[in-house]
Amino acid sequence: MSKSLLTSILRRIDEKEKSLYLLLLIAVAILPLASQSDYVLRIATLCGIYIVLALGLNLVTGYAGQMCLGWAAFYGIGAYTSALLVMRLHASFWLALPAAGLMAAFFGLLLGIPTMRLKNTYLAITTLGFGEIVRLILLNWTDLTRGSMGLPGIPSPSFFGIDLDGKLFYYYFIVVLVIVTLVTMARLVDSRLGRALQAIREDELAAKSMGIDTTRYKIVAFAIGAFFAGIAGSFFAHYSAYIDPHNFAFGESIAVLSMVILGGMRSLPGVVFGAVVLTLLPEVLREAAEYRMIVFGGILMLTMLLRPQGIFGGVQRKKVSLTPEAVGQGKQPLYQNRLPEKAG
């Protein structure tokens, strides 16, 4: 990360946020030292995978306003691409990882070109169908994917012949991927692409009248989001060392979409929060045995009733008009958080 990039990011957050982010980063860094449990590290690693998945979907659903019910398809495409490249072609993991993202992005383009002209329910049903088509191909193309038997023995990454299969390596590697994804999404949201996507979400007709090529922007957003889903799939394949089509079923798409909605669409901290909560909650409720999914669903329903916009859905960043006197005295921050006006 260049110095200018880091400076531009720091300018966008006030001192309280800097302190909070620093504390969170320290907590994440020392977690393996604070807990020697392999179980805790595994759950934390899974949280990281879902954060990357949810951030990619948030770009499509949250910022572009395009409902996608087949997100697990790109997750599966990335996982199988990476696993097959390493197992069949003996490619390096460090080449298979970006290749998995690019393959998922390619299929995102293929899906986006004919479907981004659709809206609302029609788009949702189309993406649902795409997800099922991908799952059935993975299940029935046995010569390539071994079908329901899955792909066992996926090799771990190596560096100059040294296998990097330790739990600590996977944990810190997913932390790096989460940070890269967060920084990338933050930059995209603040870019011309992000502003165009938000204009399309609010009023596509008005965006068209302003000269925005709405279809092209939505396709680009779909491809970028799918790229990160593919990266998450590649990591999952090598981390678990075994994948099968059931890992990428419709339920996985709904789980990721629930994370985005629960945390709050169009809120990067909210999406991270939603991914962590919905990954941890089933584990916390594991003692409830067969009743845990009922409790889990009840908590989701209660949250949606009390906070339909998501936990962080109402928090926005707003520019503050600065006077030269306020700037000189350093009394006004560049940005401040606010809650939306109460609906009448």
pLDDT digits (tens, 9 = 90+) for 120-149: 788 889 999 999 999 999 999 999 999 889
CA distance 269 to 131: 27
Question: Rounded to an integer, what is the distance from CA 33 to the centroid of its chain?
Answer: 27
What is the per-residue pLDDT for 78?
A: 95
What is the per-residue pLDDT for 164?
A: 67
CA angle at residue 183 from 179 to 185, to 5 degrees? 115
Report the run of H or E that residue 38 belongs to, with start and end. Answer: helix 38-57
Residue 334 pLDDT level (bands cut at 50, 70, 90): very low
Helix, strand or coil, per DSSP, at residue 338: strand
Which residue shows structure tokens 């393996």?
Answer: 32
CA distance 68 to 59: 11
The region that residue 338 occupies, defined by phi over 0 for left and psi between -120 and 50 for alpha, beta otherwise, is beta
CA distance 66 to 72: 16
pLDDT digits (tens, 9 = 90+) for 224-247: 999 999 999 999 999 999 999 999
Q: Does domain 37-319 have CATH number 1.10.3470?
A: yes
What is the per-residue pLDDT for 289?
A: 62
**pTM of the predicted model as reported, rounded to 2 decimal places:** 0.83
Helices (H), 190-335: 192-202, 204-209, 214-240, 250-263, 268-284, 292-306, 324-329
Question: Rounded to an integer, what is the distance from CA 264 to the centroid of its chain?
Answer: 13
What average pLDDT does range 68-92 have in this prediction?
Answer: 93
Q: Which residue has the higher pLDDT, 120 or 86?
A: 86
Phi, psi values for residue 150, rounded to 5°: 75, -175
DSSP code of residue 137: H
pLDDT digits (tens, 9 = 90+) for 270-318: 899 989 988 988 887 777 666 767 777 777 788 778 777 777 765 544 4
Report whether pLDDT(3) > 60. Answer: no
Task: Tell me if 228 sits within 8 A of 56, measured CB to CB.
Answer: yes
Domain boundaries, the chain: 37-319
What is the per-residue pLDDT for 310?
A: 74
Which residue shows structure tokens 């609302």?
Answer: 120
What is the per-residue pLDDT for 15?
A: 54
